[in-house]
Structure 1
Amino acid sequence: MLFLSSRQLFSRVFNNNNNRFIKYLYNVRLKTYSDKKESDKEKSTKMEIAVLNKFSESLEIERVDFPKISHSEEVIIDVNYCALNGLDVLLCENLYSYEQNLPFIPGYEIAGKLIEVGEKAGKAGYNVGDKVVALNKKRFGGLAERCVAEMSDVWKISTSIKSVDAVCLLENYMTALIGLEQFGCISENDMVLVNVGIGGIGLSAVDIAANIFKAKVLGVGFSEDRADEIRNRGAFHAFTYKEKKLINEIKNIAQERDIKNIFEGDSGENFKKVLNSFMNVYKSKTPSKSILRDDNFGVVVQHLSYEGRIIIAGVADVNLKINGKENDNAFVITGVNLRDYKKRKHDFYRQTGDDVISFFEEGLIKPKPSLVTGFYKVNEAKKFIYDMKACGKVVIDMKNKEAENMQAR
């Protein structure tokens, strides 16, 4: 009897504890499911960005609310790739001509798809799902999963164009095209000397001069691997910068084209001064600050001593006047600034972007990234640029965020 009572008591205790245990499991499962729902909800309203909070320090990956359209001319881009340019790096190091307000999300050259379109943008022909490239130099913000841009800075592209190629087009090729076309008045068989520097705009200038205008291009590079890339872009001769050898090499190549005595007389001395203004960037105490700027692409037409002319283009000390006054031997080098063209000659700015995209679609130019790397490797990519190791465009993959660093393409 006592045994039976003990069994009944044990059974009751076990059943009560079991009920509590089941209730505990239910609560744990409910809490886990609830947390998962909150996490999913957060993911649906938040995005990752790379933000600079203090100059000369690393970019930090943070989660923030998705952006919203505030004006009818705006669109929102789902970013697939964002180019990291010299201007981005200089602003992060506070080495540009103006100080950027912080916090700052770098990145202004973007490729992706439209996921939201303002009313005026829609009426102008932009639609959700359009594949686009953008030059967002007013707002920046490209190192984010989504980015707001004005429709005037956005170009629609064909679905056949790879986004990783498209993101290499606008900044460099538009700058080079404007410089060569507007200031060089370049024509077929002209001799064009391009100071390529470390790549970027200089390589684009070689590509355009050789393959669009069919000019004879000489390229001066920062190192031998740059010289190889210059040849790959269509230059008929390329060499690395060595001050003592530069004049002799140019003289020999000119003589092969029956152009003699190009460094003699007043025009010859002026030619040397022009060359120095382009090559001085290699001798700068802060070469990265000089070479990585976005507005230092200049063009000068030099008439030779006895016949013909040569066009000198590329990275230069801009806004430089020799002799301090206007005369036959004076010249001024002014860099091409796309922001200025957008403001003063907007239709021309838009048409230049259209032309560059058309050149690419027709296979006339071949943009090539120096490297493509994942979003989480952005600080390594930034250092890669600042250390002047890039030979062309550096591209950040915003979708494959863990992609290995320094993935050459």
Structure 2
Amino acid sequence: MGDLTSVIVWYLSNNTLSNNISQRRVNNWLKMHSLRLQYSRLNLYRNTFSLLEKYVKPSIASCCSNFSTELPSFNESDQFKAAVLHPKKQNLTVETLVLPDTAADGMVRVGVDYCAVNGIDVKCIYQDINTVTLPFIPGSEFSGEILEVGPNCKRQFQIGDKVAVLGLKHVGGGLSHQCFVPETECIHVDPRLSQKDAATIIQGYSNSLLAFTKYAPIKEGDDVVIFAGPGGDGLAAIDIAHNILKANVYVVFASASIDALVRDESAHKAINCNVGLTKVYNYFKNTLASKQFKAVFDTYDSKILHVIADFISPNGYILTEDPFFSPETFEAPYFKKDTGKKSKKKKPTLEEIEEPENIDWTERVKKVDITKYQTTEPEFYEQIVNQAFELHATEKINPFVSQVWNLREVNKAIQFVNLKKCLGKVLIDTRRKKASLEGKQIA
């Protein structure tokens, strides 16, 4: 049919006889021909549909009746978005996931409001990726609301309670709309605090209180060193040591961007570690006249501990937040006073070290991690965290938030921290419409 139409149109357009045929008759003929084709197709579709109705549909119904399991149906409350780290990738992918039906024993479901991007998250992504099981959802410090309480929970959490969460053992981390966490990692938030404040305070200030009141108790006038990196924990340590405990604080900071803020926090003296570890060593040896410190607290990178270990007082302590640091294997090197070289221009390097004598570092080096008390001494854990909340509620401390990003911009936020551009905490706003979150409590 189509070929015949083409021949007729070609003939009429090229033959001289076409001049005697009206254009209207040609158009009418083409319209009628098109209608005939459409009618033929319609009949074919009707016949096919009739065959499907008669033979195929009964067969499908018969097959389906043999299955005892129904296909799952998901509604909006079953789904959530999360930033997921996959193998062989250094960027997180924001994906829509489906939660399990209910919380397991001792677990609660938390709708996340704000999640902090900490050094541990950056290290998991860029350096120590082998320490986590992929795919992985980062986020170890966040605030939110209880949406579901699993069976055998003993902490008396109720649906709707505002909580702060700190830990590394979640089934799904805080960079998501919601996740399941052990109830031991949750603590009620002081109603005087906002959710943003809770996500900013719980780790840095709690660890600082633990460091300077339990592990290395300091008093007014003591000299301490704090290694402050991006992310806010260093500023929290300065805040506690100087403004609360009235110690003299000397700061080694990891980024020029936090220099002014460190000094504003009343640090006694400060030096940027980017000048090189040798210069940092010489700064403490010469500029500070080999001052003896009651404590050195690392909140960013434990490599600095080997440099400052020479300046710890006989009853002083070395403390670190580095989760991958091992106090048992710590050997504190120090620089030789005489390198044995005749040239006076050559400066000592980190390789030119010798082992100090008669120093037992196993009792003086401690890893600061408030989460270790969540299960072993839960009352002490709550005491330390609530003390940090109380200090903020009474305006005795001032946590600093550098920037707040939304979940879609999570990779920008992580890069922001990795490049050491942040002065304080970096938060991800993960809030979603609460109407879509169905709370439930299981007896």
TM-score exceeds 0.5? yes
Q: Taking structure 1 as the reference length, what is the TM-score of the superposition?
A: 0.69
2:121 pairs, out of 53, 76, 88, with 88
Please give the secondary structure, in 1, of the residue aligned with 2:131.
coil
Tell me the amino acid that sits aligned with residue 424 of structure 2. Answer: G
Tell me the amino acid that sits aligned with residue 80 of structure 2. Answer: M
Shift of the alpha carbon at 1:91? 1.7
Q: Distance in 2 between matches of 1:173 and 1:379?
A: 26
8 Å CA contact 1:192, 1:313 repeated in 2: no
Tell me the amino acid that sits aligned with residue 202 of structure 2. Answer: L
Q: 1:190 to 1:253 in 2, by over 3 A?
A: farther
Shift of the alpha carbon at 1:84? 1.6
Correspondence for 2:361: 331
8 Å CA contact 1:56, 1:93 repeated in 2: no
Task: Please say which structure displays the higher CA radius of gyration.
Answer: 2
CA RMSD in angstroms, aligned pairs only: 3.8
Q: 1:158 to 1:349 in 2, by over 3 A?
A: closer
1:322 pairs, out of 316, 329, 332, with 332
1:127 pairs, out of 146, 152, 158, with 158
Shift of the alpha carbon at 1:349? 2.7
Matches within 5 A, 1:124-203: 124-139=155-170, 140-203=172-235
8 Å CA contact 2:205, 2:236 repeated in 1: yes
Shift of the alpha carbon at 1:224? 3.4
Matches within 5 A, 1:365-380: 365-380=397-412
1:395 pairs, out of 400, 423, 427, with 427
Correspondence for 1:224: 256
**Residue 302 of structure 2 corresponds to residue 302 of structure 1:** no
Q: Distance in 1 between matches of 2:301 and 2:178?
A: 36
Q: 1:321 to 1:192 in 2, by over 3 A?
A: same
8 Å CA contact 1:111, 1:166 repeated in 2: yes
Shift of the alpha carbon at 1:180? 2.0
Q: Distance in 2 between matches of 1:92 and 1:184?
A: 32
The more displaced of 205-214 and 381-390 is 381-390
2:148 pairs, out of 108, 112, 116, with 116
Q: 1:174 to 1:234 in 2, by over 3 A?
A: same
**Residue 84 of structure 2 corresponds to residue 51 of structure 1:** yes
Q: Distance in 1 between matches of 2:371 and 2:299?
A: 25
Q: Distance in 1 between matches of 2:300 and 2:430?
A: 37
Q: Distance in 2 between matches of 1:300 and 1:400?
A: 51
Unaligned runs of 5+ in 2: 1-72, 334-353, 434-443
Q: Distance in 2 between matches of 1:370 and 1:120?
A: 39
Q: In percent, how many aligned pairs have the same letter? A: 28
Q: Distance in 2 between matches of 1:310 and 1:101?
A: 38
Correspondence for 1:360: 392
Shift of the alpha carbon at 1:129? 1.5
Please give the secondary structure, in 2, of the residue aligned with 1:168.
helix
The more displaced of 111-120 and 67-76 is 67-76
Higher relative contact order (CA 8 A, sep 6+): 2
Residue by residue over 1:145-186, the C-alpha shift from the partner in whole angstroms, topping out at 9 and shown as x without a partner, is 111122211111133312112101122222222222223211
Q: 1:278 to 1:177 in 2, by over 3 A?
A: closer
Aligned residue pairs, count: 330
Residue by residue over 1:311-342, the C-alpha shift from the partner in whole angstroms, topping out at 9 and shown as x without a partner, is 76667876322379895445353322344444
Q: Distance in 2 between matches of 1:386 and 1:362?
A: 33
